[in-house]
Amino acid sequence: MPKVFIEKTNETRKVEAATMKEILQKLNINAEEVLTIKNNELVTLETKVTEKDSIKLLSVISGG
């Protein structure tokens, strides 16, 4: 289970998942609201994850 840091709530959780998409689904997070970071690199939702990976979900901020 990779550790996942969620910027919006400033918490770290362990999530059993094989891909970034599964992580977002299990945490009930909309993929359009976050950037998915694996080991300090921006990645796609199809990216596979392992328990050794460092995962960050960073909030997308927009304004006008």
Q: How confident is the model at residue 1 (pLDDT cuts 50, 70, 90)?
A: confident
User: How many domains are there within the chain?
Assistant: 1
CB 17 within 8 A of CB 26: yes
pTM (2 d.p.)? 0.91
What is the residue range of 54's domain? 3-59
Residue 64 included in any domain = no
pLDDT in tens, 2-60: 999 999 999 999 999 999 999 999 999 999 999 999 999 999 999 999 999 999 999 99
Residue 32 included in any domain = yes
CATH code of the domain containing 27: 3.10.20.30
Give dist(CA 5, CA 14) in Å, integer: 9
